[in-house]
Chain A
């Protein structure tokens, strides 16, 4: 009798395991994005801006975009992590300072210098004939020749949205590494101006990078920073770094550590009273010196920070739609329109996983437990010639109405049959 009970129990467990194993979650990867727990501070979450209320599911074949024409080379290879390089810097000056002369350190010939009023409607007129230049203390000609000087009106006509009160010029190859002093008389004393120095021919480049494009509030930010000329890296003698909120009304200091390190213990969230679309920006201003020559560079790196307002609950079941469909449980702290993206792989005749297609689904969910179904119709699955086991990869949970990426799992689900 006891033997029979044990056998029945074993069969039940085995049957249950089989049912559960029909779809299983795969192990998380080290660079997945996922909150430990959802935020309880829901009062600090901005209202959702979504306008659509219908549930929408859309799937497409991986080769759909390249049919009918033979694709040429592309798209351009880009990195998967955020990284910026800079060969330029900016200086804020006043009219008085510009009349007196502003010193600009240069590291290479062919520098491009732009002087602009900070305000779009300053009424200022900058005149190439009033520019006075000195290089390493001796006067140099400001006769740039045709095509080497341009005004704000000309640049704006080409779609470069500088203020009309702008003068841009390119230095000749005779002016290389050293100090350029720029002055221009007749500018109102307190008028704010900005000078942008771009050195396209310089080997000295500053780079700033992060591990990912999206963070959850509270996660540490560890920036990689380097100042070098391709042959050597030097330690900057001055680094200033701040993080600015999307509406630029708040800033937080980024700590500079030994060896050009830049770090922030916990990614902050902007004030809910000033909701603004856009991205957080890390601004880094660096100055170094090599063999007596000053090197200045500015960097701006954009990324996003989201509060942990929703995540996959771990519940998953087969969907009700024909074809290949799964229903994913989602826990959310606030209502909103949530979007799920996924890559779907299938098994080919050789037993190897192959990309079947992409699927995206979105729906409005109330706070609490909800579900979103991802579905590929049976025609699409049949046409692919791929069979089980299937895998779901690059599974993402996004908030459409607040533009947050909330969870990102490189390997997510295995669907056995």
Chain B
């Protein structure tokens, strides 16, 4: 009798508070840059609005605005991200958090996941995290960052080593990311796995042909520019990152052409836009 009553009470509680107990939320984490309006300037409203339709409560979303021109562990980078995620979780009662990162945003999020003892806000964020969908993350850095470090160390003053690039660019040099992956970050080959999933979406090419419709999603001029930056990258790249870097930590979720509309490939610019049904794929994952 008592057991039946307990079961009935349990079912009633589930029906009453079930949605509260499994409140799903989504966070959009931008890449390198000091963002103050990432919704419009980085992700676009149409993309965010499309993706958040997948939530049972479409108001459970947050667009992060931080200074990711700093090193990933900086208070203005990981500290700011933790602050905004922690506030989102507690103010909305989020129990099931999906984080969408783009580019260097993946490194900042991976910093939090790899260093749970760094900040007392980190453990709650990790605990509530379902997984990270990492759109074109720069997990192994990029040769473009190597190339833009100016000057020859034997021919000029060393000021260029620090003075001409921000810390995020220095950090995303391939040799620097190899160091941080070996010592402070988890999830790369041979290192401890991350405490939650880090699923990579890999963009594999840039279409910059005026007769190719794929060149126009996100803006043709961006595509043409990314085709130029590919000169410094290997044959599989999204114009900013090589595929090996995008799949350098965590696990592969998919290569662009496996799932996008008509097998289109995503440039680095397009992987943060509603191009080729990427928004629908991300929406259906919530």
Are A and B co-members of a single complex? yes
In whole angstroms, how far apart are the Cα atoms of A247 and B195 in the complex?
A: 33
A154 in complex: contacting residue of B160, B174, B195, B225, CB < 8 Å: B225
Contact B155 A76 (CB under 8 A): no
Q: How far is the CA of A209 from the CA of B25 in the complex (A)?
A: 44
The reply to whether B250 and A74 contact each other, CB–CB distance below 8 Å, is yes
Residues 184-233 (chain A) with a chain B CB within 8 angstroms:
192, 194, 196, 198, 200, 213-214
- For the complex formed, measure the closest distance between the CB of A47 and the CB atoms of chain B, giving whole angstroms: 16
A302–B147 touching, CB < 8 Å: no
CA distance A68 to B149 in the complex (A): 41
Report if A326 contacts B (CB, 8 A). no
- Evaluate contact between B248 and A75: CB separation under 8 angstroms: yes
Interface pick from B7-15, B44-52, B180-188:
B180-188
Instruction: State in angstroms the CA–CA spacing of A60 and B129 once bound together.
Output: 13
CA distance A157 to B224 in the complex (A): 11
CB distance B197 to A69 under 8 Å? yes
Residues on B with beta carbons closer than 8 Å to the beta carbon of A84: 174-175
How far is it, in angstroms, between the C-alpha of A194 and the C-alpha of B157 when the chains are bound? 12
Q: In A262-298, which residues have CB < 8 Å from any B CB? A: 276-279, 281, 283, 285, 298
Docked-complex contact B118 and A362, CB < 8 angstroms:
yes
Please provide the chain B residues from 189 to 224 with a CB less than 8 Å away from any CB of chain A in the complex.
189-190, 192-200, 208, 221-222, 224
Confirm or deny: B173 has a beta carbon within 8 angstroms of a beta carbon on chain A: yes
- Is A25's CB within 8 Å of the partner chain B? no
CA distance A114 to B268 in the complex (A): 22
The interface residues of chain B lying within 8 Å CB-to-CB of A137 are none
Q: In the bound complex, do residue A118 and residue B228 qualify as a contact, i.e. CB atoms below 8 Å apart?
A: no
Q: Do the beta carbons of B248 and A78 come within 8 Å of each other?
A: yes
- What residues of chain A lie closer than 8 Å to B239, measured between beta carbons? 158
CA of A358 to CA of B31, assembled, Å:
29
A160 touches B148 (CB 8 A): yes
CA distance A64 to B129 in the complex (A): 12
Contacting chain A: which of B54-62, B85-93, B138-146, B276-284? Answer: B138-146
- When the two chains form their complex, are residues A60 and B190 in contact, meaning their CB atoms are under 8 A apart? no
B119 within 8 A of A: yes
Q: How far is the CA of A360 from the CA of B185 in the complex (A)?
A: 12
Q: Check A251–B158 contact: CB distance below 8 A.
A: yes
Do A198 and B195 touch (CB < 8 A)?
Answer: no
Q: Point out the residues of chain A lying under 8 angstroms from B126, CB to CB.
A: 58
How far is the CB of A398 from the nearest CB of chain B, in Å? 8
A155 CB–B CB distance under 8 Å: yes
A244 within 8 A of B: yes
A123 CB to closest chain B CB (Å) equals: 16
Assuming the A-B contacts A213-B183, A248-B159, are A360 and B117 also in contact, with contact meaning beta carbons closer than 8 angstroms in the complex? yes
B250-274: which residues lie under 8 A (CB-CB) from chain A? 250-254, 268-269
Instruction: Identify which of A63, A196, A279 contacts B179 (C-beta below 8 A).
Output: A279
Q: Which residue of A lies closest to B239 (CB)?
A: A158
Q: A285-B153, A302-B179, A403-B184 are in contact. Are A157 and B222 (CB under 8 A)?
A: yes
Which residues of chain A are near B195, meaning CB under 8 Å? Answer: 58, 60, 64-65, 358
Given contacts A66-B193, A118-B156, A196-B147, contact A154 B228 (CB under 8 A): yes
B22 at the interface (CB under 8 A from A): no
* Chain A residue nearest in CB terms to B268: A159
Measured in the bound complex, the distance between the Cα atoms of B188 and A72 in whole Å is 14
The stretch of A88-96, A101-109, A124-132, A316-324 that contacts the partner chain: A88-96
Contact A161 B169 (CB under 8 A): yes
What separation, in Å, do the CA atoms of A304 and B180 have in the docked complex?
10
CB <8 Å contact, A158 and B152: no
Could you tell me the distance between the alpha carbons of A78 and B242 in the complex, rounded to whole angstroms?
A: 14
- A31-73: CB near B (< 8 Å → 1, else 0) gives 0000000000000000000011010111010111111110111
For the complex, is B99 an interface residue (Cβ under 8 Å from A)? no
> Bound complex: CA of A89 vs CA of B75, how far in Å?
35
What B residues does A118 contact at CB under 8 A?
150-151, 156, 160, 164
Known: A114-B147, A150-B228, A303-B179. A72 touches B252 (CB 8 A): yes
B170 touches A157 (CB 8 A): no
CA distance A64 to B151 in the complex (A): 45
CB nearest to B240 among chain A residues:
A159
Chain B residues near A159 (CB, 8 Å)? 31-32, 103, 144, 229, 240, 268
Closest to B70 in A: A277
Q: Does B19 contact A (CB under 8 A)?
A: no
Whether a CB of chain A sits under 8 angstroms from the CB of B286 is no
**A76 B140 Cβ-Cβ under 8 A:** yes
Given contacts A65-B197, A277-B71, contact A343 B179 (CB under 8 A): no
Contacts of B197 in A (CB 8 A): 65-69
**Nearest CB on B from A335, distance (A):** 17
Neighbouring A residues of B252 by C-beta, 8 Å? 71-74
Q: Is A400 positioned at the interface, with any CB of B under 8 Å from its CB?
A: yes
Known: A65-B250, A160-B148, A358-B192. A304 touches B179 (CB 8 A): yes
Contact of B173 among A163, A192, A300, A341 (CB under 8 A): A300
Q: Are B173 and A362 in contact (CB under 8 A)?
A: no
A81 to B175, CA, bound (A): 11
CB distance from A323 to the nearest CB of B (A): 17
Does A4 sit at the interface, judged by CB under 8 A? no
**Nearest chain A CB to B187 CB, angstrom units:** 7
Interface residues of A in 385-401 (CB under 8 A from B): 394, 398, 400
B225 touches A157 (CB 8 A): yes
Contacts of A16 in B (CB 8 A): none
Q: Is B165 an interface residue (CB 8 A)?
A: yes
B245 at the binding interface (Cβ < 8 Å): yes
- Measured between alpha carbons, how far is A89 from B154 in the docked complex, in Å? 12
B162 touches A247 (CB 8 A): yes
State A25–B140 Cα separation when bound (angstroms). 35
Any chain B CB within 8 A of the CB of A259?
Answer: no
The 9 closest A-B pairs by CB, nearest first: A72-B252, A248-B161, A362-B117, A71-B251, A92-B155, A58-B116, A60-B195, A158-B225, A283-B153
Task: Taking A74-B200, A248-B161, A339-B118 as given, write out 15 further A-B residue pairs in contact, using a Cβ cutoff of 8 Å, ordered by the A residue number.
Answer: A56-B123, A76-B245, A82-B179, A92-B155, A118-B150, A158-B240, A159-B229, A161-B165, A168-B231, A194-B151, A279-B179, A302-B173, A339-B117, A358-B186, A403-B184
Q: What are 17 A-to-B residue pairs whose CB atoms are below 8 Å?
A: A52-B119, A60-B195, A64-B193, A64-B196, A68-B197, A69-B131, A75-B189, A76-B188, A155-B225, A157-B225, A159-B32, A160-B229, A194-B151, A214-B183, A248-B161, A302-B178, A360-B115
